[in-house]
Amino acid sequence: MGIIDTLSAGFSTVAKNLWLVTVPVLLDVALWLAPKLSVAPVVDHLIATMNSALQALGPTGTADISVYRMVETLSTTLQQSVGRANLFTMLNWGRLGVPGVAGLRLIEPEVDRVIEITSYGQWFGVQIILLLVGLLITCLFLGMLGQEVRGEGVHLGKLSKRLPSYWLYMLAFMVPMGLLLFSIVGSSMILGALGFLFWGLLIWVIIYLAFVPQAITMSEAKPFRAVVGSFTVVRANFWSSLGLIILVNLINLGLSMLWVRFMGSTLGMAAVILLNAYVGTSLTAACFIFFRDRLAAYQSAVQQQRSV
């Protein structure tokens, strides 16, 4: 199937099995209605530390005026973004295909119940815990889709037995990817103008490893075999793979910008959560279908070559 047909197949799969949206819907509802986790005190402390460092330079303004403007702009940005973000949204691994929209809503201290983190150590520790728990939720969601696309239907009993393995395999894949991202960001800052070379490398890696989650949760491959499977599918179908990745991300980005306009009311938020879960789950299902079909076609071609 072409890209459009694959997307249609994804929507059709979810339309026939609407309960596949259960995980993202429940996660979004929890992020919407539960108390919010804020790091605003830590951000305020960070801003105060930066201002104290500037004041230590002396009242005569020995630092360039541009430094003051930069710190002022950075302080405002941190307060309006990180300071008002709900840290619980880290439970949603959107980049791995779990649709989520509640994280787009910033904390409103006058309305929301807020739990505050007051130290850098707490911030770091809570982030790690939330990421690990979120990855487990992601494996549950992807495992359900994997079973459905594989054609066997969802069996929660079997999935619960495989879930720890999925989680460990995904963790074994994500940790090196995180270290690679950190290294590339650091190298690009050091190299300045030449840093684009490292960003190009990162984009190349992301494209070729885009189907690792599908390989783990549908083909039940271990991390190395999952990387090989994703690389094989993309190499054999580069332009269609790239087209699917771009199209899925553009749809998600466009819808995110649209959803924000309807999140002001309770009814609007509920509708947005349901619609986003349906569309997002369908797009992720399409990626599973694409990987399944293209991998099967590649394996069939290899077998035919060997039999000749």
DSSP letter assigned to residue 155: -
32-41, 112-121, 269-278, range with greatest mean pLDDT: 269-278
pLDDT at 225 over 70: yes
Mean pLDDT estimate for the chain: 85
pLDDT at 110 over 90: no
User: How large a percentage of the chain has pLDDT more than 70?
Assistant: 89
- Pairwise CA distance, residues 110 & 89, whole Å: 20
3-class DSSP state for residue 125?
A: helix
How many residues are there in the chain? 308
* Mean pLDDT on 52-66: 61
Q: Quick: pLDDT tens for 170-196.
A: 999 988 888 877 777 666 666 666 666
pLDDT at 45 over 90: no
Predicted local confidence at residue 245, as pLDDT: 92
- CA distances (Å), origin 170, targets 140, 142, 261, 284: 12, 11, 34, 17
Going by pLDDT thresholds of 50, 70 and 90, the confidence category of residue 29 is very high
What kind and span of H or E run contains 36?
strand 36-38
Predicted local confidence at residue 61, as pLDDT: 52
Predicted local confidence at residue 187, as pLDDT: 67
Higher pLDDT, 14 or 265: 14
